[in-house]
């Protein structure tokens, strides 16, 4: 069995803790994502999916429980260590691409390298150009996001997520802002990256068509995982 990239045990998240309006949105979540997996997280609105993804992405912090990133307990990490761990291990794709409109597609893809190393290099530029070519955008390297279609902007966002060769890409409703044709293209692109590069994906989606095409489906309801199994016909072992 491949090594776990992330391991969560007993994860709880409470907002406004210690006040009369405290609310616990995650109630003891346990699961892991292993190298090379292509998994999705489903559940109704308000079930805690985005909160869980933010915790995995080190954008928020759990109220209780343990989180191991590539085998390392991450609870005691300071902000600098978390930032470096996030940049070196995780990639992010969101429903709204969050590209910087004043910068070209190429410059947007180079941003993670700038954040990690503090400088732009010729190697980073070549890597970014190669990634954009691999997602079908080799002809628009110097175009800015407002000059691109929604599907093309999301392809730039995927290339940016891959800029530092992350082990795991977290995708929060990556096709939710696209028409069905563009959504299918973006999904197939992520699937191809998973298969050719070995990058693991954890995708939050409301689209049952897309969930059905993932290898593993994790269902979250009311802050609790109620189902976690390989999708029928995918041939993966239960976790």
Distance CA 146, CA 102 (A): 9
Helix (H/G/I), strand (E/B), else coil: 71: coil
Residue 193 · residue 136 · CB < 8 Å:
no
Distance CA 109, CA 111 (A): 6
Domains of the chain: 37-61+79-230 (3.40.50.300)
Distance CA 181, CA 185 (A): 6
Helix (H/G/I), strand (E/B), else coil: 127: helix
Q: Mean pLDDT across the chain, nearest whole number?
A: 85
What is the per-residue DSSP string for 23-59?
EEEEEEEEEEEETT-EEEEE--TTSSHHHHHHHHTTS
Task: Quote the pLDDT of residue 178.
Answer: 73
Give the model confidence (pLDDT) of 63-117 as tens digits: 899 999 888 888 777 888 888 888 888 988 876 667 889 999 999 999 888 877 7
Residue 220: strand pairing partners? 225
Give the model confidence (pLDDT) of 206-234 as tens digits: 888 888 889 999 999 988 999 887 865 44
Reported pTM: 0.86
Distance CA 233, CA 212 (A): 10
Distances (CA, A) of 117 to 111, 122, 164, 173: 10, 13, 11, 29
Residue 205 · residue 42 · CB < 8 Å:
yes
| The residue to which tokens 């298969």 are assigned | 195
Task: Quote the pLDDT of residue 102.
Answer: 92
Residue 168: strand pairing partners? 90, 200
Task: Quote the pLDDT of residue 238.
Answer: 36
Give the model confidence (pLDDT) of 22-60 as tens digits: 898 999 999 999 999 999 999 888 888 889 988 999 888
Distance CA 237, CA 97 (A): 33
Distance CA 204, CA 129 (A): 28
Distance CA 202, CA 3 (A): 15
Distance CA 154, CA 36 (A): 22
Distance CA 196, CA 26 (A): 34
């Amino acid at each position: 069995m491949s090594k776990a990239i992330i391991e969560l045990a007993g994860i709880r998240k409470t907002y406004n803790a210690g006040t009369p309006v405290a609310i616990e949105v995650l109630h003891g979540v346990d699961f892991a994502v292993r190298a090379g997996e292509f998994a999705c997280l489903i559940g109704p609105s308000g079930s805690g999916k985005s909160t869980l993804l933010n915790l995995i992405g080190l954008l928020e912090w759990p109220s209780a429980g343990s989180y191991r990133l590539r085998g390392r307990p991450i609870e005691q990490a300071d902000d600098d260590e978390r930032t470096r761990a996030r940049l070196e291990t995780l990639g992010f794709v969101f429903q709204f691409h969050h590209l910087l409109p004043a910068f070209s597609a190429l410059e947007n893809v180079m941003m993670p390298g700038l954040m990690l190393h503090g400088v732009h290099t010729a190697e980073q530029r070549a890597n970014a150009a190669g990634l954009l070519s691999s997602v079908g955008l080799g002809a628009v390297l110097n175009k800015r996001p407002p000059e691109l279609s929604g599907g093309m902007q999301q392809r730039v966002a995927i290339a940016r997520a891959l800029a530092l060769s992350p082990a795991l890409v977290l995708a929060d409703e990556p096709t939710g802002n696209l028409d069905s044709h563009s959504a299918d293209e973006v999904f197939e692109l992520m699937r191809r990256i998973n298969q050719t590069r070995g990058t693991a994906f954890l995708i939050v989606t409301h689209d049952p068509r897309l969930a059905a095409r993932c290898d593993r489906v994790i269902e979250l309801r009311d802050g609790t995982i109620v189902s976690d199994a390989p999708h029928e016909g995918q041939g993966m072992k239960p976790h």
